[in-house]
């Protein structure tokens, strides 16, 4: 599990995303259910999992993968939210964490064993290959840091 818990029943304690706000979420570690709970709590996604944050900015500070059983599902969630947020005038930035870097380097020691077995070690390796793999190529484009929000800044790099 990811080390954080969102308490309360769905719909309780949730807030609406502010269009001028920057939200940050860290260390999801393959815990899809808690990722959904945290995003719902912030008002950034609707009950169906679609972007509800309007033109808000969400920064995921890395470590989407490893430890939990749903790393690929978490990656897909943020890929989808990035697209949906852009269409709504918002922004989802995903940063490169050390666990993404480990996978790009072929170090799978923290990958959830059940997820690695169900995907296949060779397939996992191919997906995370930084040159030829679809996920590897995507992660290679993630920045390690970003400046988000006002102040005339913008991204320290391409972000997302």
Instruction: Dump strand ranges (E) for 39-113.
Output: 57-60, 91-94
**Separation between Cα atoms, residue 53 and residue 90, nearest integer Å:** 7
Does the annotation count 99 as an active-site position? yes
Looking at the chain, which runs of residues are DSSP E strands?
A: 22-25, 57-60, 91-94
The span from the CA of 50 to the CA of 81, in Å, is 7
Residues in contact with 108: Cβ distance below 8 Å, sequence separation at least 6, in sequence order: 102, 116, 121, 124, 125
List the catalytic residue out of 34, 99, 146, 148. 99
Q: Is residue 23 within 8 Å of 17, Cβ to Cβ?
A: yes
The Cβ of residue 140 has, within 10 Å, a number of other Cβ atoms equal to 14
8 Å CB contact between 16 and 40? no
Active site residues: 99
């Amino acid at each position: 599990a990811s080390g954080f818990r969102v308490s309360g029943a769905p719909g309780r304690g949730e807030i609406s995303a502010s269009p001028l706000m920057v939200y940050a979420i860290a260390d999801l570690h393959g815990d899809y259910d808690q990722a959904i709970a945290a995003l719902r709590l912030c008002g950034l996604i609707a009950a169906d999992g679609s972007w509800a944050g309007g033109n808000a900015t969400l920064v995921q500070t890395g470590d989407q993968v490893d430890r939990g059983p749903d790393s690929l599902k978490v990656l897909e969630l943020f890929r989808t939210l990035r697209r949906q947020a852009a269409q709504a005038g918002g922004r989802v930035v995903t940063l490169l964490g050390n666990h993404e870097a480990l996978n790009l380097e072929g170090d799978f020691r923290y990958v959830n064993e059940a997820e690695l077995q169900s995907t296949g070690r060779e397939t996992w390796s191919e997906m995370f290959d930084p040159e030829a793999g679809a996920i590897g190529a995507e992660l290679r484009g993630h920045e390690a840091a970003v400046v988000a929000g006002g102040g005339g800044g913008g991204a320290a790099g391409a972000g997302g």
